[in-house]
Amino acid sequence: MGSELSPLVITLWVLNILVDSGGQLAFKAAASQPPHELDGVARWRFMLGKPWLWIGMGCYVAEFVFWLAFLSLVPLSDGVLLGSINIVAIMIAGRILFKERLAPLRVAGILLVSIGVAVVGLAG
C-alpha cells in the first residue's frame, strides 16, 4: 500500500475523516437538543427544524463522495482499515465536545485501532 499513499489519497482520506466525524457530531448535537419530554414524531419534527440534523446529512453526502473517490484509488481491504480511524476521531471528539466518558477499555481500543491504522498506512 505504501506506493498508493499519494497526496490525493491522503487528502481524500483526511477529508473523509473530517466529514464523517463532523456528520456524527452534528447528529449527536441534533439528538441532544430536543427537550426530554418530546418523543416519537414530535421529537423528529423538532430535530428536523434544527440545522445540526441538516449539517449532518450534508456531511454524509460529502463523505459518500470522498469515500467513493478514496476507495477508487486504494484496495478495499486497506481502505476499510484506514477508514477505521474515524472511530478514534469520533470517540475523542465526543469526549471533548459532549463530555462523554472514555473508559479504560475504550482508551485501549483507541490505541489498538490507531496502531492498526499506522501499521496498514506504513506497511506495504
Backbone phi, then psi, for 108, in 5-degree steps? -60, -40
Residue 78's pLDDT is what? 87
**Helix/strand/coil for 68:** helix
- pLDDT tens per residue, range 17-57: 999 999 999 999 998 887 878 888 988 888 898 999 999 99
Please report, to the nearest 10 degrees, the dihedral formed by the alpha carbons of residues 73, 8, 81, 117 taken in order: 150
Q: What is the pLDDT of residues 77-115, one digit of tens each?
A: 889 888 888 999 999 999 999 999 999 999 999 999 889
Q: What is the mean pLDDT of residues 54-61?
A: 97
In this prediction, what percent of the chain has a pLDDT beyond 90? Answer: 61
Determine the Cα–Cα distance for residues 55 and 58; give it in Å rounded to an integer.
5
Which pTM was predicted?
0.82
H-only helix segments in the chain: 7-32, 40-48, 51-71, 76-83, 85-98, 104-122
